[in-house]
Amino acid sequence: AQSVAQPEDQVNVAEGNPLTVKCTYSVSGNPYLFWYVQYPNRGLQFLLKYITGDNLVKGSYGFEAEFNKSQTSFHLKKPSALVSDSALYFCAVRTGTGGFKTIFGAGTRLFVKA
Amino acid sequence: ETGVTQTPRHLVMGMTNKKSLKCEQHLGHNAMYWYKQSAKKPLELMFVYSLEERVENNSVPSRFSPECPNSSHLFLHLHTLQPEDSALYLCASSQAAKSPTDTQYFGPGTRLTVL
């Protein structure tokens, strides 16, 4: 069965420091990986996705993610965190054999302290 | 968030009421989705429509009834709900339902409270 794990419920980081939000996945077949962000009282906003090619994917708001096939991971990173990055982050996966379903992780809450 | 809009943003209803949630996408997409987001649980896919045809019903109770009159509009009709149905209901759209590389774009959600 396909699954996505976000091992940390919450990540705390000081403003200006680098941040990492972790994601690992388990699928059969090639994974297509997504990161979304959710601000309070808002829907999910697309940040970036990995389809194929370069393992380092750059996305919106200065975020990037690295696809690591051997570790089945797709961690979200940003070199310098902003207070405004504080939000709920979701990792998601789809495959070519997964039909219509996108499998979402449970989410990681990021707190950036000034 | 003008790409996908949802109304109402907040809804409080009793267990015997009937109400409907509305979603509209302005992106020219062919697929639309309903998700349920409950606290501390992963997003749950409820229904998928592709070109106005329902292609996925993820074991959702019959008290939830979706309707897709055209590729831009999606409704979720609610009747005789239970308190455990209280959640944020998210609508999303994508270019095609079965393309695994397509990005889904989400509306702001309807916060539903069932008393």
Distance CA A41, CA A54 (A): 34
A-B contacts (CB, under 8 Å): 61
The rounded distance, in Å, linking the Cα atoms of B88 and B5 is 14
Secondary structure letter of residue B22 according to DSSP: E
pLDDT at B112 over 50: yes
Is the pLDDT at B58 greater than 80? The verdict is no
Phi, psi angle pair for A7, to nearest 5°: -70, -15
Do the chains contact at B100 and A43, CB–CB below 8 Å? Answer: no
**What digits encode the pLDDT tens for the residues B75-93?**
999 999 999 999 999 999 9
- pLDDT 10s digits, A23-82: 999 998 889 999 999 998 889 999 999 999 899 999 999 999 999 999 999 999 999 999
Residue A98 pLDDT > 90: no
Helix (H/G/I), strand (E/B), else coil: A104 = strand
Do A43 and B48 make contact, defined as CB atoms within 8 angstroms? no
Q: Look at residue B1 in the predicted model and tell me its pLDDT.
A: 47
